[in-house]
Amino acid sequence: MNREEIKGVLPHREPMLLVDEAHRESDESVGSYTVRGDEYFLQGHFPGNPVVPGVILCEMMAQSGCVLFSDALAGKTPYFSGLDKVRFKRTVVPGDTVVFRCRVTATKGPFYFLSGTGYVADEVCVTAEMSFALVI
């Protein structure tokens, strides 16, 4: 999916749409985002040394992961309901393309539980466990 197709699945819009491409591979979603350097979240983080904030990396990963349950999203909004075991392994800076791999680990009613890992050039930059509630 390109950005326009992703807009058909996710309710996010610029400047909060933080995935450029996404697709399913077997039981995983794979999403990516290339950091251009002009994003709002880099303006003060940090002047002269821009680094993508960790919370933004988590949002990028979450949006990439939502592709896994896109069929269930029709008419619903995926709300983050939990974020656990987050680890940051390297910085992400302008020019980096982050590739996120996520998989569903469990479902219960309207809740989806995922694990995800983000990579820059095959080097892990972030890992986390996430949960979402699909709400009408």
pLDDT attached to residue 132? 96
Instruction: Give me the residues paired with residue 79 across strands.
Output: 133
Structural domains counted in the chain: 1
Low-confidence ranges of the chain (pLDDT < 70): none
Q: Is the sign of the CA dihedral 107, 111, 112, 118 positive or negative?
A: negative
Residues acting as catalytic residues: 45
Q: What is the CATH number of the domain that holds 60?
A: 3.10.129.10
pLDDT of residue 98: 98
Hunting for tokens 């290339």 — which residue is that?
34
DSSP string covering 44-88: TSSTTS----HHHHHHHHHHHHGGGGGGGGTT-EEEEEEEEEEEE
For the chain, give the number of residues: 136
Mean pLDDT of the chain: 96
- pLDDT value for 76: 93
pLDDT at 74: 87
| DSSP code, position 42 | G
> How do residues 55-68 score in pLDDT, each as one tens digit?
999 999 999 999 88
| pTM of the entire predicted model | 0.95
Range of the domain at 122: 3-135
Question: Measuring CA to CA, which residue among 133, 11, 134, 131 is closest to residue 62?
Answer: 131
